[in-house]
Amino acid sequence: MTWNTTGLDELPVYEKLMKLARNPFDLTAPGALSPERISNYKASAAGFDLLYSTQRLDDSVVNGLQQLADQSGAVDQFLAMKRGAVMNRIEGHASENRQVLHTACRDIFSDTPYNSEATQQARQQLEKLKVFLEQLDSGEIANERGEAFTEYVNIGIGGSDLGPRALYLALSAYAQKNRRVHFISNVDPDDGAAVLQNLDLARTLVGVVSKSGSTLETLTNEEVARAAFAAAGLNPRDHFVAVTGQGSPMDDPQKYLRSFYMFDSIGGRYSATSMVGAVMLGFGLGYDAFIEILRGANEMDRAAEKRDIRNNPALLLAVLGIWNHNFLGHQTVAVLPYSQGLLRFPAHLQQCDMESNGKSVNRKGEKVLHKTGPIVWGEPGTNGQHAFYQLLHQGTTVVPAEFIGFRHGQYTMDLEIEGTTSQQKLIANLLAQSLALASGRKDENPNRLFAGNRPSSILLADKLEPHTMGGLLALYEAKIVLQGFIWNINSFDQEGVQLGKVLAGRFLEHMRIVHQGGARDTDKHPQSWAMLEAAGILPED
């Protein structure tokens, strides 16, 4: 490796940035937000403009953040990742030891892809999907009455649900006529029941998504769905599609109409542009729309290779986040899309960011001595303005914000009311919130005083459509992994979810013992037995 693998706090520029952070740029000072500053603090790529004049920094900080990116070798590591370096590893310790090649799924447009093997795998699966969708469109694949399938239920959890669901909801304005997509993720039986009871199962396909073919929640929900189909007199095999690892227990033509493959080099939270998202999005939006998502993502993947942070929105967003988190001490970041279509995009980013960078050891297994990933949360504006923005403006906790907006709406249903359209009102609110957080307002009434100096960025594109959504997804994926490289952590495993799974299995075993009339061995695992009893889950002896 040619890049620096030391911690953030060991990089030469670290002390310089710490000194600058003691007296950050005052956004409330007279003339601070000058037209020149607003114009100059802007980075553009792949159809997006990132406005960052409302961040607490000046040219000296921007230069320091450029040095931070350079000294950490963030872009070199990003390129190595794309070529197939084993980035998912902890040196000297048992780990997944895998390549990280989600970008290969959208490198299909290049004659010389970064990793030809992974890209060829992606092309093969896309060709399988194209044929499958054509067969659905032509009626070659239909239900037993010869009717077309009009509904699709995606059963998955985590990365098999959040990213694909966020993309589908964002692009539902472009949905195929007479086709709808639904989602079941929670093992809560009410989640599945609420979806299945309202569907014509005879005209429904079910996509079951699990790389290992053994995800407890997903397999449980699959069996619930299969029982519903059987009760309706339908053969589940003729309605169920598998998205899984090749050779997994779900790779079974006796149980599934079709199987599409996901590969070990693509982590779940980075899998929306693999078959994990492709099958559902291809059904709901059409094959061509999914290809446009890939084109947009690929364009942003290429832009994320630029070394100048002023020309690389993903890298700039990454180092701005580190400035706010590690140097200014802010613990959370709010992602605030001013687009109702992006309703579930913050939820996807919660997983993608917090599962990736919620780590406390570096890539050598040593405890990190600096903060890593922040808490990520958010809701769409303007709804959020009438909910939690009070805290953003006047609370005791400073929350950096990342606003996302579009100059034009997806639909043509917009009216001019009191001289402006609804879309114009939406954008005006976005810009106003960023300015208000930064500049604040003085008032003799302390209840009406706005302190200001609350940092934010604005990410703008023309319209939320498939190409743009692909770019937005890839921008945040790149931001997250670039931050991980700078922090020198492994952004690609998720050991933190394993302990809870083990303990849940123990609780379930206790429940089985009691249900089957066995003896309670409370001397073994006494805490879990006690918790079940205290919660009123077990019947009294």
Token pair for residue 112?
Answer: 């010389």
Q: How far apart are CA 104 and CA 67, in angstroms?
A: 29
Q: Are strands 332-337 and 48-51 parallel, antiparallel or unpaired?
A: unpaired
Sign of the Cα pseudo-torsion (171, 173, 174, 177, in order): positive
Under 8 Å between Cβ of 314 and 83? no
Say how far apart CA 266 and CA 274 lie, in whole Å: 8
CA pseudo-torsion sign 506, 510, 515, 516? positive
Task: Judge contact between 294 and 474, C-beta under 8 A.
Answer: no
Query: What are 361's strand-pairing partners?
Result: 367
| Among the listed residues 239, 464, 440, the one whose alpha carbon sits nearest the alpha carbon of residue 340 | 464
**Residues recognised as catalytic:** 355, 386, 501
Tokens representing residue 263 in the block: 């590969």
Question: How many of the other CB atoms lie within 10 Å of CB of 226?
Answer: 19
Q: Are 408 and 423 in contact (CB under 8 A)?
A: yes
Contacts of 291 (CB under 8 A, 6+ apart): none
- The residue among 106, 97, 147, 148 whose CA lies nearest residue 126 is 106
What residue ranges in 73-168 does DSSP mark as E strands? 151-155
* Six token digits for residue 128: 């399988």
**Residues facing residue 334 across a β-bridge:** 377, 401
Residue 193's Cβ-side half-sphere holds a number of Cα atoms within 13 Å equal to 3
What is the CB neighbour count within 10 angstroms for residue 301?
Answer: 27
Beta strand ranges found along 204-283 (DSSP E): 204-210, 240-245, 258-262
Rounded to 5 degrees, what are φ and ψ at 281?
A: -70, -35
> Is 371 buried (19+), middle (13-18) or exposed (0-12) by CB count in 10 A?
middle
The first and second tokens of residue 518, run together, are 């066995």
User: What is the Cα–Cα distance from 178 to 174, expressed in whole angstroms?
Assistant: 12
DSSP states of 157-193: -GGGTHHHHHHHHHTGGGPPTT-EEEEE--SSHHHHH
CA torsion through residues 489, 491, 493, 496, sign: positive
What are the φ and ψ backbone dihedral angles of 232, each rounded to 5 degrees? -90, 5
**Residue whose C-alpha is closest to residue 481's, from 116, 82, 108:** 82
Distance between CA 483 and CA 436 in Å, rounded? 28
Running DSSP on this structure, what letter comes out for residue 373? P
